[in-house]
Amino acid sequence: MPCTWITSDLQLRLILTLFFVAECLSAGMEGTKTSNNSMQQLDNGNHSSVSTTSSTERKQSTVTLYAEVKTSLSVLVDTKAVLTCPPVLWPSVLVVTWEIVLRDKPPCFGAYRRDTNQTTRGNCTDKRITWASRPDENPALQVDPVAITHDGNYTCQIVTSDGNFHHEYHLQVLVPPEVTLIQTEKGTAVCKAAAGKPAAQISWTPEGDCDTEQGPYWGDSTVTVQSTCRWGSRHVLNVSCSVSHLAGNKSLSIQLSQGAEIPAHLKNLYITAPIFIILIVVGSIWLLKISGCRKCKLKKTEHTPVVQEDEMEPYASYTEKNNPLYDITNRVKTSQVLQSEVDASPEVTLL
């Protein structure tokens, strides 16, 4: 009997122990599930709040970024530039304003008011800057034609019922340089990109010993770049100069004259030799002229009588021999002479 009770008591204790263990295990599992559920709900709540915050921040950052849009625009001189405003819903537009800040000039404003359909130019006096079309349809701005003085900032501000929107342009006017390529007396090649905006870049083919210089900026912000290149003892016949510029690239070629650079002493010889030759020729002509004049004078003084005698003697002898009249005349003269002698002879005798 006692043994039976002890055995039954032990069985009862074992059953109760197993029951309590099972209760504890089930309680622990439920607590774990509850904590997991609460943690999951908390995580879900945090995640939704983070998502909401992120979307809100993203939306705010998008609006801010759009409001601060800045665009750099390069336009070739003497062309047309069109500047647009931010794209917004037109029914919500209240006022459109353009602010123009040019270099070395005070700011000027132009505006359009939608409720009254009125436009104002403010203090903007440049007639080349106008609305691209009707501002009630498209508030874009146009510059036609573009000049160097139109460098500056142009800002479109649109006031709407949903907020303000801005779009700023930094306008840069491009001026293509005038490119020339020549060869100097020293045998070097000079490539010049004159009056360009901005400064151009110069390169050579084939490469040589080159020196590139940039001049000062002019009042209109243009600048000249010059590159001088030499190839020394290398026998280079053809060279090319390439000019890179935002307004467009250009390349020129030239054929170099053969031969190395002329030394300084040869240059002086080339300059002085023609002068000496000219002096020698002039001196020779002068000496010949002087000597010729002297000979002419001597010939005139020496040969003039002889020439007269030579010229007269043949004529006289011919006259005497062949002219009968001349004989009669001589006879008459001779008789007259004899008669005069006869007439004079008595007088001599009487004396």
Q: What is the pLDDT of residue 109?
A: 92
Q: How much of the chain is helix, strand and coil, in % rounded to 5?
A: 45, 30, 25
Per the structure, the count of domains in the chain is 2
Please report which residue ranges of 141-211 form alpha helices under DSSP H. none
User: Does residue 94 sit in the same domain as residue 167?
Assistant: yes
Does residue 53 belong to any structural domain of this protein? no
- Report the Cα 143 to chain-centroid distance in Å: 23
Task: Provide the CATH number for the domain around residue 189.
Answer: 2.60.40.10
Q: Are residues 39 and 46 in contact, defined by beta-carbon separation less than 8 angstroms?
A: no
User: Does residue 156 sit in the same domain as residue 221?
Assistant: no
Does residue 295 belong to any structural domain of this protein? no
User: What's the burial of 67, exposed, middle or buried (CB within 10 Å: 0-12/13-18/19+)?
Assistant: middle
Domain that holds residue 186: 178-255
**What one-letter code names the amino acid at 340?**
S
Q: What is the pLDDT of residue 235?
A: 83
CA–CA gap between residue 120 and residue 118 (Å, rounded): 7
User: Does residue 135 sit in the same domain as residue 204?
Assistant: no
User: Does residue 163 sit in the same domain as residue 248?
Assistant: no
Distances in Å between the Cα of 275 and the Cα atoms of 262, 272, 280 are 19, 5, 9
Name every residue whose Cβ is closer than 8 Å to that of residue 144 and which is 6 or more positions away in sequence.
Answer: 80, 81, 128, 130
pLDDT digits (tens, 9 = 90+) for 53-89: 344 444 343 443 345 689 999 999 999 999 999 988 8
Does residue 124 belong to any structural domain of this protein? yes
User: Does residue 152 sit in the same domain as residue 189?
Assistant: no
User: Does residue 227 sit in the same domain as residue 247?
Assistant: yes
Does residue 111 belong to any structural domain of this protein? yes
Does residue 56 belong to any structural domain of this protein? no
User: Does residue 92 sit in the same domain as residue 153?
Assistant: yes
> pLDDT in tens for each of the 351 residues of the chain?
444 433 444 444 444 444 444 454 454 444 444 444 444 443 444 444 333 334 444 434 344 334 568 999 999 999 999 999 998 888 899 999 999 999 888 999 999 999 999 998 888 889 999 999 888 888 999 999 999 999 999 999 999 988 899 999 999 999 999 999 999 988 899 999 999 999 999 999 999 999 999 999 988 899 999 999 999 888 888 999 999 999 999 999 999 886 545 555 556 776 888 888 998 988 888 888 787 776 666 665 555 554 444 444 555 555 555 555 555 555 555 566 555 654 555 443 333
CA–CA gap between residue 288 and residue 79 (Å, rounded): 73
Of 207, 236, 255, the residue that ends a domain is 255
User: Does residue 157 sit in the same domain as residue 221?
Assistant: no
Of 222, 255, 288, the residue that ends a domain is 255
Does residue 101 belong to any structural domain of this protein? yes
Q: What is the pLDDT of residue 167?
A: 94
User: Does residue 117 sit in the same domain as residue 198?
Assistant: no
CA–CA gap between residue 243 and residue 190 (Å, rounded): 12
User: Does residue 102 sit in the same domain as residue 168?
Assistant: yes
> Which 3 state secondary structure label does DSSP give 163?
strand
pLDDT digits (tens, 9 = 90+) for 282-322: 888 888 878 777 666 666 555 555 444 444 455 555 555 55
Of 210, 237, 255, the residue that ends a domain is 255
Q: Are residues 177 and 193 in contact, defined by beta-carbon separation less than 8 angstroms?
A: yes
User: Does residue 136 sit in the same domain as residue 218?
Assistant: no
pTM, full prediction: 0.55
Q: Which residues of 150-176 are buried (b: 16+ CB within 10 A; e: fewer)?
A: bbbebbbbbbbeeeebbbbbebbbbbb
User: Does residue 84 sit in the same domain as residue 163?
Assistant: yes
